[in-house]
Amino acid sequence: MINTVYILLGSNLGNKEQNLKKTIDLINNNIGEIINFSNIYYSKPWGFNSNNEFVNQAIKINTQLSPVDLLKHTQFIEKEIGRENKPNKNIYTDRIIDIDILFYNDIIHETSDLIIPHPLLHKRLFTLKPLNEIAGNFIHPIFKKSISKLLDNLKATKKDC
């Protein structure tokens, strides 16, 4: 079965744009066909202080991998690009690459290792902006709102947008 997955890539160390390109190549070769990708967006770090600006890009892929296997493959790719072990889930640090699974079809999946849809995507402009570019009409399976509506709602609550 072919599954449609939306992923967010982020990098704020090294040659950030090249980190995204290498990650996209590895995803295309090891996870599934890339169907679409957003432009690259620049943002300040979220959840921690750093002088290193982030680059983010959303991608849409088709894969035959299960959610758990997809997570294993994305973690392998992060290590392949040069990411050290991830810290605790609630601690954010600078990183050479970060791969977040945002949506997997329209399923809701929750285990100790993986939560889909990504639980914070509706609170992050750096996620919603690139995702809106490639999936503005996609309906969030929990909130029952489109990505464009979630983005509009978040912008309305932020004074600096």
Q: How far apart are CA 93 and CA 138, in angstroms?
A: 30
What radius of gyration, in Å, describes the C-alpha atoms of the chain? 15
Q: What is the CATH number of domain 3-157?
A: 3.30.70.560
**From residue 99, how far is each of 15, 29, 87, 144 by CA, in Å?**
16, 15, 14, 24
Q: What pTM was estimated for this model as a whole? A: 0.92
Lowest mean pLDDT among 26-40, 41-55, 64-78, 100-114: 41-55
Look up residue 132 and give its amino acid: N
Contact 98, 78 (CB under 8 A): yes
Q: What is the pLDDT of residues 92-140, one digit of tens each?
A: 677 889 999 999 999 999 999 999 999 999 999 999 999 999 999 999 9
